[in-house]
């Protein structure tokens, strides 16, 4: 049974991984960490983590792309070759195809795979209020539940590898779609002469309210900071994975394809490291307005 005091490994100390390691340390776990960024490692080591040097039985990953996950998990010096590793918990958004592929590769070495993509942003990672979507054998979930609960609310979706990834991709498509359509509606209002802050208040008291109008516009678009905390390149990757998976399943993604194209434009214009709220800047440029308080 996983409990405070167990030795844990964590690979990937980016915007989400760093705060999640902090949650584990606060819960009393010993955590061995690895990241290609020495600064990121130093930051969590200063809080009590140990730099990579010894293996752990349970290793968590928080990585940006499917290819990086595959390399980290199954590569020549990957997690699969750790003598003590028994379970890998992937907190990334890498899609069901890669999740299945990595799960199969780890199974060949008697290592249990757990899909556990998270949603809730950097603030949720820091505060322990993330939604944690999990697919793995039930017995495995029972063992790791205390670990996952340090990150937020756990939602078990089934035992098949990749199921939690499908849930996460659907969520991220909706988040991006809300941002696109809300940007268009707000640009129309501003061009007609409405105060965008007043329009946001109206929408949030009405049937059009959504995650973009309730959170992203007030925090990052109306003030013009565009610093919500989620990169355009990651959102573009997630939506591409979602549309690809839907098409593979024979599910039409008419609007999903449009959202993907909007993110492709944003990614090309502002770069993958820009904040994904920059979608609004694309709409602003096309409309000839600025959506500001």
Round to whole Å and give the CA distance between 252 and 186: 28
* Structural domains of the chain in order of their starting residue, each with its CATH number: 7-161 (3.40.50.720), 166-287 (1.10.1040.10)
DSSP 190: H
Distance (Å, rounded) from C-alpha 128 to C-alpha 150?
6
Per-residue pLDDT of the chain (293 residues; tens, 9 = 90+): 445 556 799 999 999 999 999 999 999 999 999 999 999 999 999 999 999 866 689 999 999 999 999 999 999 989 999 888 999 999 999 999 999 999 999 999 999 999 999 999 999 999 999 999 999 999 999 999 999 999 999 999 999 999 999 999 999 999 999 999 999 999 999 999 999 999 999 999 999 999 999 999 999 999 999 999 999 999 999 999 999 999 999 999 999 999 999 999 999 999 999 999 999 999 999 999 999 98
Q: How many CB atoms lie within 10 A of CB 207?
A: 6
User: What residues are annotated to the active site?
Assistant: 168
């Amino acid at each position: 049974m996983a409990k405070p005091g167990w030795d844990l490994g964590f690979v990937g100390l980016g915007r989400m991984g760093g705060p999640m390691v902090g949650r584990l340390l606060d819960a009393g776990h010993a955590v061995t960490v690895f990241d290609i960024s020495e600064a990121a490692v130093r930051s969590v080591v200063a809080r009590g983590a140990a730099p990579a040097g010894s293996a752990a039985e349970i290793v968590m990953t928080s990585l940006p792309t499917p290819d990086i996950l595959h390399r980290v998990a199954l590569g020549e010096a990957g997690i699969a070759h750790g003598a003590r590793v028994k379970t890998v918990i992937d907190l990334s958004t890498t899609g069901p195809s890669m999740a299945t592929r990595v799960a199969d590769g780890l199974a060949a070495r008697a290592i249990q795979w757990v899909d556990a993509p998270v949603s809730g942003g950097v603030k949720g990672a820091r505060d322990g209020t993330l939604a944690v979507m999990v697919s793995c054998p039930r017995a495995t979930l029972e063992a790791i539940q205390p670990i996952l609960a340090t990150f937020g609310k756990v939602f078990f979706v089934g035992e098949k590898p990749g199921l939690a990834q499908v849930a996460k991709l659907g969520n991220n498509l909706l988040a991006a779609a809300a941002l696109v359509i809300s940007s268009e509606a707000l640009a129309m209002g501003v061009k007609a002469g409405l105060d965008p802050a007043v329009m946001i208040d109206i929408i949030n008291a009405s049937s059009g309210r959504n995650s973009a109008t309730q959170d992203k516009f007030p925090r990052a678009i109306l003030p013009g900071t565009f610093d919500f905390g989620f990169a355009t390149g990651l959102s573009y990757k997630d939506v591409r994975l979602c549309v690809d998976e839907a098409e593979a399943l024979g599910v039409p993604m008419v609007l999903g394809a449009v959202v993907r194209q909007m993110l492709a434009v944003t990614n090309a214009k502002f770069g993958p490291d820009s904040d994904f709220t920059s979608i609004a800047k694309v709409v602003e440029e096309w409309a000839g307005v600025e959506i500001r308080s």
